[in-house]
Amino acid sequence: MTDLNDYKFDNRDELLLQLKDDVMSSLSQGLDSRNKASMLLSGGTTPGPLYNLLSEQELSWHNVWFAPTDERWVEPDHQDSNERLIRETLLQNNAKNANYIGLKSAGDDPFIGQKQSNRNIAAMVMPFDVVLLGMGEDGHVASLFPGLEDTAAAMDEKNENFCHGIRRGGGDTPRMSMTLNSLLNAKKIILLFYGTKKLKIFERARLFKTDALPVSYLLHQNKVPVSLYWAN
């Protein structure tokens, strides 16, 4: 069982201010020890306000590297692109000179582009100083959705790739996701989500490791500490 810390807040503003300080501390420690720092970033709308706060902080941002935990296989300026969200929120203000490595490469689909995406991520300093993840109501993290062959491959402990293509079908855009091994190649993992429904799913995942709830793989390992940041 991992070292799990629960940080539950009365409101989201209070959570974001504390999380901002904690992320900055992790990045500062990375800069102090290695002169470089690295972080994997969750997509979606939830972390946007956090990224805005981070962008306003003072740091040697030119020595900080960011990459997303997952990405839809769309162009970086597409409205559904995590890269677009990150560039419009985090890579602004004081943090505009931070380094960003995207998961989307030139291939027509993630399995054609996977080799190049892996090469790109290999340039980052590892282990990552911090990995920020959300969680879906199906227990997925990054784009590791339950019930998919691609997810099983991406979560295989023998998978040495940094990232892996994910196909859901049903008209959903293919994605590239960091593998489980990549997510665990970190000094610290932060799970950020809101609401009682997701909290109940999380509590279920704490009970045992199951493919039905990919987040459970983060909670039942002994490689890296995990911290939950939650508010209703």
Residue 1 pLDDT more than 70?
Answer: no
Let me know: does 39 contact 101? Beta carbons within 8 Å: no
Q: What share of the chain is helix, strand, coil (3-state, %, to 5)?
A: 35, 20, 40
Which residue segment(s) compose the domain that 113 sits in? 4-231
Residues with Cβ within 8 Å of 33's Cβ and at least 6 positions away in sequence, in order, are none
- List the structure tokens of 192: 């950020």
Q: What does the alpha-carbon distance between residue 146 and residue 70 come to, in Å, rounded to a whole number? A: 15
Q: What does the alpha-carbon distance between residue 190 and residue 186 come to, in Å, rounded to a whole number? A: 10
Note the pLDDT tens digit of each residue in 157-200. Answer: 999 999 999 999 888 999 999 999 999 999 999 999 999 999 99
List beta partners, residue 99.
65
Return the CATH number at 132. Answer: 3.40.50.1360
Let me know: does 86 contact 104? Beta carbons within 8 Å: no
Total domain count for the chain? 1
Task: List the Cα angle 219/220/223 in 5-degree steps.
Answer: 90
Note the pLDDT tens digit of each residue in 98-135. Answer: 999 999 998 889 999 999 999 999 999 999 999 999 99
Note the pLDDT tens digit of each residue in 204-225. Answer: 999 999 999 999 999 999 999 9
pLDDT the model gives residue 27: 98
Find the helix or strand (DSSP H, E) in which 218 lies.
helix 216-219
No. of helices (H) and no. of strands (E), the chain:
8, 10
